[in-house]
Amino acid sequence: MPTTIDREAWSAAAVGAVPAVLAGFLGRKRAATILLGLPVGIVAFFRDPDRRVDATAVDEDTVLAPADGKVMHAGPGQPGVAPPPTDQGDWQQVSIFLSVFDVHINRAPYGGRIRSVTHRPGRWLAAYKFESATENERSDIVVEREVGGRTRTIVFRQIVGAVARRVVTRVQAGDDVATGERIGLMKFGSRMDVFVPPDVELTVAKGDRTVAGETVIGRWTR
């Protein structure tokens, strides 16, 4: 499928090209050639491939992976990490770790109306550490959808890591999003958490690899 480059790439690549330019001015052609690998790598990091969900609608019971990466946790919401319980019960949680080699474009795991987007400043601990979920900079996004006369709610969270230092969230409260729609990105290695109610059956396990907008991570059972 076609791959484009996200617009965030160009300013970062320009900064990354400075060492190569300086080496060129100093006449160090070999060093300049080697250093050109940095901006090229930065541009590659911001690749934005199309996925099947971009051409095919997703049914109302399916929850998709919001990010490429490796599942670190799939099960009951972790104490201190999951949002407070609701009248639907305790949350279930899927946490996905993104390495610097993964695509970092984030997608909505479930379609509906954005109820809120909350950005919280914080630290830059390694995203695979438990503490990163509560102490790192992050954005919490709450989505609601009416199905069969009931309101379904999920929460998903963009979390920066030791290398990723910025969350880019391109949706706001009141926006309508489709399942699998692009909603932003995180720069250079990070984590995404998805919280779903107990009537969603999780379909991934710790250690699984996910593909944003393609891997099914859960299904509503009622």
Helices (H) and strands (E) in the chain, counts: 5, 16
Measured in whole angstroms, the distance separating CA 222 from the mean position of its chain's CA atoms is: 27
Is residue 190 flagged as an active site residue? yes
Angle at CA of residue 132, ends 131 and 136, nearest 5°: 125
Which residue is it, tokens 């300013």? 11
Please write down the long-range contacts of 78-81, taking CB distance under 8 Å and 24 or more positions apart.
78/130, 78/133, 80/133, 80/134, 81/130, 81/133, 81/134, 81/193
**List 95, 132, 139, 190, catalytic entry:** 190
3-state secondary structure of 116: strand
| Residue 128 near residue 160 (C-beta atoms within 8 A) | no
Which residue is it, tokens 């997703």? 58
**What tokens appear for 143 in the block?**
């989505």
Element (H, E) at 151: strand 150-160
Radius of gyration of the chain (CA): 19
3-state secondary structure of 105: strand
Would you name the residues annotated as active-site residues?
A: 190
